[in-house]
Amino acid sequence: MEVIYNLSDFREYRNSLDSQSKIIGFVPTMGALHAGHLSLVEKAKKSSEIVIISIFVNPTQFNDPADLMNYPKDIKKDIAKLTPYNPDVIFIPGLKDIYPKPDTRQFDFGNLDKIMEGESRPGHFKGVAQVVSRLFDIVRPHSAFFGQKDFQQLAIIKSLVKQLDYKIEIISCPIVREKNGLAMSSRNMLLSEEARNVAGFIYKVLWEAKESYPSLLPEEISKTAVEKFKNHPDLKLIYFEIIDSESLESGKALNKSSKLVACVAVKINDVRLIDNLIFV
């Protein structure tokens, strides 16, 4: 396992792979690693000959400077967590490696970035698209692994891959949860133990929503879920949406063949958490 801290060393390493025709799996992260990230690494190890993990807290995807400042960072711990998995390379670029000059690219994702995270965090997905395409250009992997917790991000990245014609397979990996159902997230590190316990409520509501389908209509299920969050003393609901898992359309655009997913964002003690559950 090699840890590479700058672009020129990484390029040298990556060029050295060109003659080897090995399958390269890539796990991009923003660090503050947890069991969810490690499950991506495990999956990448199973299907790739070379595994590269990047750690880069991307400023362009934070619309709130305080959120960026408070985002948990601990590179030493991250490296220690990855060591038992023995990836080939952990790539930890600096800001100038990723953005030698300001990235002014705009992207058109149609409806995909107009709702939910896109609506409540303006510019977020533009930043995600910028950094992911930059990392894809540098790492040039055959496949890249992303957690399903960021359901909307996955849809955006699949669209980005199509638009920019990357020959990269996007692999979606299941959400890893705490015992009480709370989805693993780097942001959970910002929660007290009590808040973590309380946050188990999010999964409970998602589960109840899933259980009430198809006996209830999506709009009835949403209404009930929204009420439950509104009545909770410690959680502040940002959105709860039941959407088509492909188009991310909701409401009247849903039809019988839609595969539905319930997506939610809440704040607890000012920590923003997202989660989702697919209705099968």
HSE, side-chain direction, 13 A CA sphere, residue 168 = 30
**Tokens standing for residue 246:** 């492909």
- Does the CA dihedral 73-76-77-80 come out positive or negative? positive
3-state secondary structure of 214: coil
Is 28 a binding residue for ligand PAF by CB under 6 A? The answer is yes
Within 153-212, the residues that bind ligand PAF by CB under 6 A are: 153
Q: Which is nearer to ligand PAF, 154 or 206 (CB)?
A: 154
Within 85-144, the residues that bind ligand PAF by CB under 6 A are: 128, 131-132
* CA–CA gap between residue 27 and residue 12 (Å, rounded): 19
Q: Which is nearer to ligand PAF, 48 or 130 (CB)?
A: 130
Q: How far is the CB of 61 from ligand PAF (least distance, A)?
A: 6
Q: Which is nearer to ligand PAF, 138 or 225 (CB)?
A: 138
* CA–CA gap between residue 79 and residue 88 (Å, rounded): 12
Closest C-alpha among 232, 225, 148 to residue 197: 232
Q: According to CB under 6 A, which one of 150, 166, 173, 237 is a site residue for ligand PAF?
A: 150
Which member of 37, 124, 142, 232 is catalytic? 37
Within 48-67, the residues that bind ligand PAF by CB under 6 A are: 58, 61
Q: Please provide residue 260's backbone torsions phi and psi, each rounded to the nearest 5 degrees.
A: -95, 150
* CA–CA gap between residue 214 and residue 216 (Å, rounded): 5
Is 124 catalytic? The answer is: no
Are the C-beta atoms of residues 271 and 191 closer than 8 Å to each other?
yes
Is 30 a binding residue for ligand PAF by CB under 6 A? The answer is yes
Q: Which is nearer to ligand PAF, 125 or 240 (CB)?
A: 125
- From the list 24-32, 79-87, 195-203, 219-227, the region that binds ligand PAF by CB under 6 A is 24-32
Q: Which is nearer to ligand PAF, 98 or 206 (CB)?
A: 98
Strand boundaries in 46-132, DSSP class E = 50-55, 89-91
Binding region for ligand PAF (CB under 6 A) = 28-30, 58, 61, 128, 131-132, 150, 153
Catalytic residue IDs: 37
